[in-house]
Amino acid sequence: MVLPVSTVLSFVAAVAVLMVIPGPAMIYVVTVSADHGRRLGLMSVAGICLGDGVLVALAAFGLTALLAASEVAFTVVRLAGAAYLIFLGARRLATPVAPMNGDRHETQVSGRRLVGRGAIVSVLNPKDALFFLAFLPQFVTPGPGPVTGQILVLGMLFVVVAATFDGVYALAGAQLGLFLHRHRSLWASQRWVIGGIYVALGSVAALTGSRTATKPA
């Protein structure tokens, strides 16, 4: 399926603007990169992309419309996502700061686990699901093909653009980690900062009940 060039360009521009707005995904990628280094930071990006891909598929086949229509379902998913962020924060607060070797931290966290965590952070954000439901159809045009197919193509294009931005954030986060490592007092306090950020994000998500179609990065 080939979409009009004008549609693709306007869509990419809109996604690029959205990706500079801080949100749980961006913060997850930056903190993982700062905490564990560049390679595992990029693995966290893969997890976010996987979760976004799932949400795109759900939006394309109309399943997120059920979430939009049910206040109970929205609340359950929102609280589950908030609880998971708080869990990650509490776990980080309880984990001593690991030493670092070169640009990699000596850590027991596997890339596969970070991919899974990133996917969960994305999928359990109901506002992301509603964002795809509201945002993608705005760029559907008559002619190129079925609506479902167009939404899938646009969604995958979104994932590619988002992965590019998140990759940059991962590299920036890794550099931040190197900076913190060179300043021992800052490095020693990073678990409190990172853990506190996750707990704060989870608390805000739990207390914020409104539904919105704006997806921060």
In angstroms, the CA 168 to CA 61 distance is 31
* Half-sphere exposure for 108 (CA within 13 Å, toward CB): 4
Q: Output DSSP code: residue 209.
A: -
pLDDT reading at 166 higher than 80? yes
Residues 3-55: tens digit of each pLDDT: 888 888 998 998 898 888 877 888 889 988 988 888 999 999 999 999 999 98
Across 150-174, average pLDDT:
92
Give the CA radius of gyration of the chain.
Answer: 18
3-state secondary structure of 140: coil
Q: How confident is the model at residue 203 (pLDDT cuts 50, 70, 90)?
A: confident
**pLDDT single digits (tens) 57-66:** 888 887 766 6
pLDDT at 29: 92
* Residue among 164, 186, 143, 189 at smallest CA distance from 15: 164
Mean pLDDT of the chain: 79
pLDDT in tens, 116-146: 988 998 888 777 777 787 778 788 777 767 8
Q: Which DSSP letter does residue 137 get?
A: G
The rounded distance, in Å, linking the Cα atoms of 51 and 118 is 7
Does 191 have pLDDT greater than 90? no
Give per-residue pLDDT as tens, 70-114: 777 777 777 887 888 888 888 878 877 655 554 444 455 778 888
Q: Are 114 and 44 in contact (CB under 8 A)?
A: yes
